[in-house]
C-alpha cells in the first residue's frame, strides 16, 4: 500500500510539472479551480489521479509528442497496442468513429503551376502516412519511354545513354487512359510512340556560297540542341518497318511495323481533345547537342509502369512529410535573454514582444519553420530548461511534387486507392 501511495504521489508531482510545462497555463489553472469548487461531487472523484478519465497528462504528452532533447529524441514511438493503457483502465483499441472525428486535412499551398502541393494531415498514424508516401513514390503508375529504336545516331552521346535520358523525361499524359503492356504486343491501348529526327547542317546555307575570304573570319559552326519538344507523337504507331517482313514481302498484306495499332490514337474518344507530349516547361529538357553533320533518328515507345521497377515511372519528383514542430517556452524569457534567443535561431522561430516598463519578452512566432536544429537549446543547461522542442506525432506536413503527369491531389487519391486495393486483395484471398 505504502508503495502504491508513493507511486501515486510521484505521478502527481510529475503531472504538475508537465502542466506547468504546457503552454495553456490558463487551462490548467481553471481545472484546479474546478477541482476546488466542486469538492465531493462526481467531478471530484473523476478528477482524482487514480480514476483516470483520460490518459494522465504527462503520459498523454509522451504519447502525442516526440521530445527533441539536446542529446537525442525521446518518446519517438507511436503507441499502437490496444492494451497499452489497460493498467489504468483505458482502451486504446481502434475505433473508426473516433478516427473519423479526429482526422483532418488542411491544404496549405499549391504552387503556381499546380504541380506542387503542401497539406497537413492531422490525426493519422505514421504507419498509414508512410504507406501513402511509399505508394506515391513507388507504386502510382505513369507513362515513360521504355524502348528506343535507334535508326541513326551519329551524335556524341552513345545510344544507351541517349535511351536512358529519353526514359527519364516526364511525359504529360494521364496514365489511367492506358493499360499495362505486360507481354502484349504494343497497341494503341498500351503504348505511345514518339519520333525523333534531328539533323544538324554541315554548314549554314549562306556559308556555302561565301567567298574564301569570308570563311576565314572564324564563323561559329552550326550547333543544335535537341529538346524534349522535338519528340513528335505518332498517334498511328511506329513508322519503322520490321526487317524480316521486308525481305519476303510477297503475299503478306502490308509490311508490319514495330507496333500493331489497329487504329490511330487520336481517333479514340479518350484522346480526342488532349495532345500527348511534353508540357511546358518540361518540353525544354535537353536531350543532346548536335555538331555539324550529326544526326539522330529514332523511335521511342512509352509504356505504363511503376516506380519500383524503375524510378523513371515515379510520378513524383519526391513526396515527403515531416511532423509538425512544437516549440514551447518553459519559462518567461526576458530582455537580453530574449535577444539572445532570437539571435540563436537561424530560421527566425522566435520573436520579441514589448511588455510594460520597456521590458521585452520572447514569443514563439513561427514554430512551423523550426527545423529542429536544436541551436536554441545549445549553450548551457539553462537553455535546455527554458525551451522545449517537440514534434506532434500525428500531425504530418505532407509535400508532394508531381512531375507533371497528374496534379498532386489526384496522385494522392490514387495512392490511397492503391492501398485500398491491396487490402481488398488480402481480404479476397483469405475468404
Partner 1 sequence: MEHGSYADNSNATFSLTDEDHTLANAVRFSLNQDPRVSFCGYSIPHPSDNRVNIRVQTTGAPAREVLKDACQDLMMMCQHVRSTLDVAVADFKLRNPPKEDEDTDMK
CB of 69 to ligand SF4, least distance (A): 11
Print the binding letters for residues 388-417 with partner 1: x by CB under 8 A, - otherwise.
------------------xx-xx-xx--xx
| DSSP letter string, 90-147 | ------HHHHHHH-EEEEEEE-TTS-EEEEEEES--HHHHHHHHHHHHHTS-EEEEEE
Nearest partner of 118 among 314, 308, 368, 373, judged by Cα: 368
| 118 part of the interface to partner 1, by CB under 8 A | no
For 388-399, give one letter per residue: b (16+ CB within 10 A) or e.
bbbbebbbbbbb
Residue with cell 503508375: 141
Determine the interface stretch with ligand SF4 among 20-28, 131-139, 189-197, 345-353 (rule: CB under 6 A).
345-353
Which run of H or E residues covers position 341? helix 335-344
Task: Note whether 23 binds ligand SF4 by CB under 6 A.
Answer: no
Cα 109 from Cα 327, distance rounded (Å): 23
Site map (CB under 6 A) of ligand SF4, residues 356-395, x = contact = --------------xxxxxxx------------x------
Q: Closest approach of Cβ 208 to partner 1, in Å?
A: 43
Q: Please report whether residue 333 would count as binding ligand SF4 according to CB under 6 A.
A: no
Report yes or no: 240 and 151 within 8 Å, Cβ to Cβ.
Answer: yes
241: its cell numbers: 518497318
Taking the least distance from each CB to ligand SF4, the nearer of 281 and 379 is 379
Cβ proximity to partner 1: between 351 and 409 the closer is: 409
Of 258 and 398, nearer to partner 1 (C-beta) is: 398
**Whole-number minimum distance, CB 343 to ligand SF4, in Å?**
10
Contacts of partner 1 in 130-159 (CB under 8 A): 130-132, 134-135, 138-139
Q: What is the DSSP letter of 255?
A: P
DSSP one-letter code for 240: P
- Whole-number Å distance between alpha carbons of 362 and 341: 8
Going by their DSSP bridges, the two strands 104-110 and 116-122 should be labelled as antiparallel
**Contact call for residue 182 and partner 1 (CB under 8 A):** no
Could you list the residues that contact partner 1 (CB under 8 A)?
Answer: 80-83, 91-94, 96, 99-100, 103-107, 110, 112-115, 119, 121, 124-125, 127-128, 130-132, 134-135, 138-139, 174, 406-407, 409-410, 412-413, 416-417, 419-420, 422-424, 426-427, 430-431
Could you list the residues that contact ligand SF4 (CB under 6 A)?
Answer: 327, 344-345, 347, 349, 370-376, 389
Amino acid at each position: 500500500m505504502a508503495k502504491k501511495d508513493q507511486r501515486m504521489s510521484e505521478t502527481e508531482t510529475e503531472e504538475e510539472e508537465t502542466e506547468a510545462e504546457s503552454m495553456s497555463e490558463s487551462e490548467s489553472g481553471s481545472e484546479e479551480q474546478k477541482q476546488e469548487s466542486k469538492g465531493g461531487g462526481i467531478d471530484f472523484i473523476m478528477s482524482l489521479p487514480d480514476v483516470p478519465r483520460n490518459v494522465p497528462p504527462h503520459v498523454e504528452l509522451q504519447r502525442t509528442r516526440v521530445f527533441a532533447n539536446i542529446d537525442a529524441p525521446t518518446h519517438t514511438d507511436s503507441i499502437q497496442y490496444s492494451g497499452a493503457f489497460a493498467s489504468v483502465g483505458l482502451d486504446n483499441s481502434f475505433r473508426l468513429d473516433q478516427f473519423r472525428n479526429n482526422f483532418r486535412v488542411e491544404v496549405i499551398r499549391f504552387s503556381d503551376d499546380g504541380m506542387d502541393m503542401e497539406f497537413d494531415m492531422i490525426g493519422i498514424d505514421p504507419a498509414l502516412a508512410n504507406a501513402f508516401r511509399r505508394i506515391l513514390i513507388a507504386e502510382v503508375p505513369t507513362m515513360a519511354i521504355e524502348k528506343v529504336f535507334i535508326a541513326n545516331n551519329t551524335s556524341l552521346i552513345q545510344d544507351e545513354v541517349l535511351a536512358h535520358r529519353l526514359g527519364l523525361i516526364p511525359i504529360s499524359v494521364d496514365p489511367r487512359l492506358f493499360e499495362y503492356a505486360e507481354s502484349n504486343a504494343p497497341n494503341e491501348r498500351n503504348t505511345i510512340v514518339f519520333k525523333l529526327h534531328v539533323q544538324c547542317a554541315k554548314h549554314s546555307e549562306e556559308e556555302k556560297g561565301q567567298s574564301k575570304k569570308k570563311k576565314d573570319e572564324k564563323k561559329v559552326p552550326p550547333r543544335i540542341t535537341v529538346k524534349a519538344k522535338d519528340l513528335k507523337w505518332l498517334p498511328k504507331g511506329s513508322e519503322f518497318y520490321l526487317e524480316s517482313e521486308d525481305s519476303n514481302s510477297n503475299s503478306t498484306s502490308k509490311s508490319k511495323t514495330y507496333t500493331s495499332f489497329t487504329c490511330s490514337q487520336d481517333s479514340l474518344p479518350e484522346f480526342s481533345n488532349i495532345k500527348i507530349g511534353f508540357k511546358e516547361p518540361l518540353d525544354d529538357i535537353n536531350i543532346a547537342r548536335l555538331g555539324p553533320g550529326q544526326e539522330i533518328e529514332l523511335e521511342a515507345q512509352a509504356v505504363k509502369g511503376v516506380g519500383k521497377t524503375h524510378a523513371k515511372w515515379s510520378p513524383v519528383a519526391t513526396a515527403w512529410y515531416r511532423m509538425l514542430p512544437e516549440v514551447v517556452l518553459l519559462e518567461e524569457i526576458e530582455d537580453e535573454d530574449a535577444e539572445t534567443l532570437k539571435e540563436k535561431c537561424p530560421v527566425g522561430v522566435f520573436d520579441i514582444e514589448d511588455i510594460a516598463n520597456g521590458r521585452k519578452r520572447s514569443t514563439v512566432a513561427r514554430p512551423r519553420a523550426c527545423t529542429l536544429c536544436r541551436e536554441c537549446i545549445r549553450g548551457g543547461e539553462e537553455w535546455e530548461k527554458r525551451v522545449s522542442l517537440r514534434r506532434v506525432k500525428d500531425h504530418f506536413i505532407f509535400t508532394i511534387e508531381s512531375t507533371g503527369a497528374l496534379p498532386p491531389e489526384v496522385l494522392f487519391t490514387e495512392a490511397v486507392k492503391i492501398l485500398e486495393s491491396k487490402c481488398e486483395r488480402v481480404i479476397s484471398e483469405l475468404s
